Amino acid sequence: MAPCNFISGTVPRGTRDCRSFVTRDCDPGSQSVPRLAGLVGRASCPSLSDRQDACPTEEGIASGVFPRNDIRNPPRNLFLGTHIPIKIAVPNVGTDSTHGITDPDFVRSVIAPVDYSLFDRELESVRLLSTGMDNTSLSFYTEGNPKWRFRILNSLLKKIAREEGVDHQVLRESFERGRVAVCKPSPTGKAFAVGENLKVKVNANIGTSGDVHDEDFELRKLEAAVKAGTDAVMDLSTGGNLRSVRKKIVNESPVPVGSVPIYEAIVESVRKRGGGERMEPEEMLDAIRLHGEDGISFVTVHCGVTLSALAHLKQKPRVCGIVSRGGSFLARWMRANNSENPLFERYDDVLEICKKYGMVISLGDGLRPGAIADSLDQAQVEELVTLGQLSRRARERGVQAIIEGPGHVPIDQIPAQILLQKQLCDNAPFYVLGPLVTDIAPGLDHITSAIGGAIAAMSGADFLCYVTPSEHLGLPDVADVRMGVLAARAAGHAADLAKRRPGAWEWDEKMSRARKQRDWAEQIRLAIDPDLAREIRARTCREDHETCTMCGDLCAYKADSGE
């Protein structure tokens, strides 16, 4: 199957004359789309916020008649009324596109359902609304012409490329090969991309438990995570009204929201039948559908926990067994019912749900090691092999996939484990929990995970799930969430420095120059957490203090400059 046009699915495959699908006489209307709420991701990074590079100017309106161009020699851009550039990817019979990434259904699934602006300032006069036809199609509607319907994936990729400082065509190629995933935004935020050649991203887990289920408390944790600079959050709620807290988080979050639907299926089964092993397979799928309906951007699904993998655990028991909550309950269900994992057996149904609701599938590592002694055993490796196979099936069905990883891993194993994942999973984006490099530091696991996270990200991991000081001890509070995000961001930035990601080196150099000049205001502005830097400075020094109280008049910078 050859890749087809990024514009409306109404354009038949193989069409060479697109003129009949172009509208040029539309009034973009006067109503503007609400601006994004809150502090999002790395907006506080000076090297990025100082950038002034706007969208490159592109001239003219294409004729609409194109030869069968190779993807390396793309046709010109097409301008549609309000100067919205849409790249037309004309079918190429000789192109290998088994991944199906440019299929119209895939485009539809990536960017919808949404009703908010994702793109450039020039598009803010355009109202974005869902068509409502299938809950997935993203359509442009203007006051003057409500007939516009076309996909805008290419514009989204261009915007992401500008924000990341990477070449648009390189990003698009990585996306089409399944090496970059784009998570759709929440109703008040924006999309983000994770994967090859992009800056390391950070996720913060929040959510209720059976013991603590205060929805306002979770929203305060969301606010703290976003302010600290997280790129995404996951709602892992297991207590209280699960749908209520999920909807509130999705509606309030300016960053994409992920979830683990099996938790809800387990909780409901326990409430109704007294045990998670009494779940019906259809209820597991229903939970995924429910999360899709509520606007979740990416879902963790533990499809790789199979009877074959569990056999390895029986042959060689672990120190800590299965530490993934979703993985452990699925394994219990499988043993109690003497049946294969329904999420593995009915994987095609899982993919259809993800495709319908535009969710990235995050293939969960239900058998990740929860102890240093359990790292890289047969069960973990077999699950990873299965996840690689499932990620390929996802791409063939037009569903984006990311792979989840460990866990507790000794430092010397981290590069090898990342390499193994990348090889087995065709360089799909890798999402790691930590990894934690020692088991002995409860209360400090945001540090042990940042050590592992920096090494993992330098070795090729793309997405770091934070770990808080409360890990292994209890439910994190607002302060824990803040420190977890900051530790993970520092780890990710250290890896970006090592890989020379655009903006990373410049940010550090600006800080170093401000430090040399003893420009305290600039140092605080450039800090990864200005509030924390300001608080410590105010606590230890007078406002007019030229140096710090560590050195005083014996300041090395003063001595070096001859003062």
CATH value at residue 382: 3.20.20.540
One domain, residues 322 and 450: yes
Give a yes or no: residue 208 inside a domain: yes
Average pLDDT score over residue span 426-431: 98
Q: Which pLDDT band, with edges at 50, 70 and 90, does 158 fall under?
A: confident
Give a yes or no: residue 164 inside a domain: no
* pLDDT over 80 at 85, yes or no: no
One domain, residues 317 and 355: yes
pLDDT at 325: 96
Question: By the 8 A CB rule, do 340 and 334 touch?
Answer: yes
Kindly report the pTM of this predicted structure. 0.76
Domain span at residue 537 reads 504-560
- Number of alpha carbons in the 13 Å side-chain half-sphere of residue 89: 26
pLDDT at 7: 26
* pLDDT over 80 at 322, yes or no: yes
556 burial level (CB within 10 Å; 0-12, 13-18, 19+):
exposed
Strand ranges for 117-186 from DSSP E: 127-130, 138-141, 180-183
Pairing relation of β-strands 401-405 and 360-363? Answer: parallel
* pLDDT over 60 at 558, yes or no: yes
Q: Tell me the residue type at 525.
A: R
One domain, residues 273 and 307: yes
d(CA 344, CA 161): 35
One domain, residues 476 and 553: no
One domain, residues 461 and 510: no
Give a yes or no: residue 380 inside a domain: yes
d(CA 467, CA 226): 15
One domain, residues 248 and 368: yes
Q: Which pLDDT band, with edges at 50, 70 and 90, does 116 fall under?
A: very low
Give a yes or no: residue 38 inside a domain: no
One domain, residues 529 and 488: no
Higher-pLDDT residue of 536, 147: 536
Percent of the chain topping pLDDT 90: 65
Q: How does pLDDT run across 388-426, given as a tens digit for each residue?
A: 999 999 999 989 999 999 999 999 999 999 999 999 999
Q: Which pLDDT band, with edges at 50, 70 and 90, does 152 fall under?
A: low
Pairing relation of β-strands 298-301 and 360-363? Answer: parallel
* pLDDT over 70 at 36, yes or no: no
Domain total of the chain? 2
One domain, residues 466 and 533: no
One domain, residues 411 and 329: yes
One domain, residues 489 and 510: no
Percent of the chain topping pLDDT 70: 73
Q: Which pLDDT band, with edges at 50, 70 and 90, does 138 fall under?
A: very low
Give a yes or no: residue 457 inside a domain: yes
Give a yes or no: residue 524 inside a domain: yes
pLDDT at 254: 95
Q: Where a domain ends, among 457, 479, 498? A: 498
Nearest of 202, 119, 137 to residue 7 by alpha carbon: 137
Q: Where a domain ends, among 498, 516, 545? A: 498
One domain, residues 204 and 335: yes
Q: Where a domain ends, among 498, 523, 539? A: 498
Q: Which pLDDT band, with edges at 50, 70 and 90, does 126 fall under?
A: very low
* pLDDT over 90 at 40, yes or no: no
pLDDT at 145: 32
Give a yes or no: residue 305 inside a domain: yes
* pLDDT over 90 at 341, yes or no: yes
* pLDDT over 70 at 299, yes or no: yes
Question: By the 8 A CB rule, do 248 and 215 touch?
Answer: yes
- Candidate from 70-74, 155-159, 241-245, 344-348 with smallest mean pLDDT: 70-74
Higher-pLDDT residue of 136, 108: 108
* pLDDT over 50 at 252, yes or no: yes
DSSP per-residue string spanning 278-327? G--HHHHHHHHHHHHHTT-SEEEE-TT--HHHHHHHHHS--SS----HHH
Q: Which pLDDT band, with edges at 50, 70 and 90, does 257 fall under?
A: very high
Which residues touch 213 (CB under 8 Å, ≥6 apart)? 237, 239, 240, 241, 245
* pLDDT over 60 at 99, yes or no: no
Q: Which pLDDT band, with edges at 50, 70 and 90, does 95 fall under?
A: very low
Give a yes or no: residue 229 inside a domain: yes
* pLDDT over 70 at 123, yes or no: no
One domain, residues 514 and 491: no
* pLDDT over 60 at 76, yes or no: no
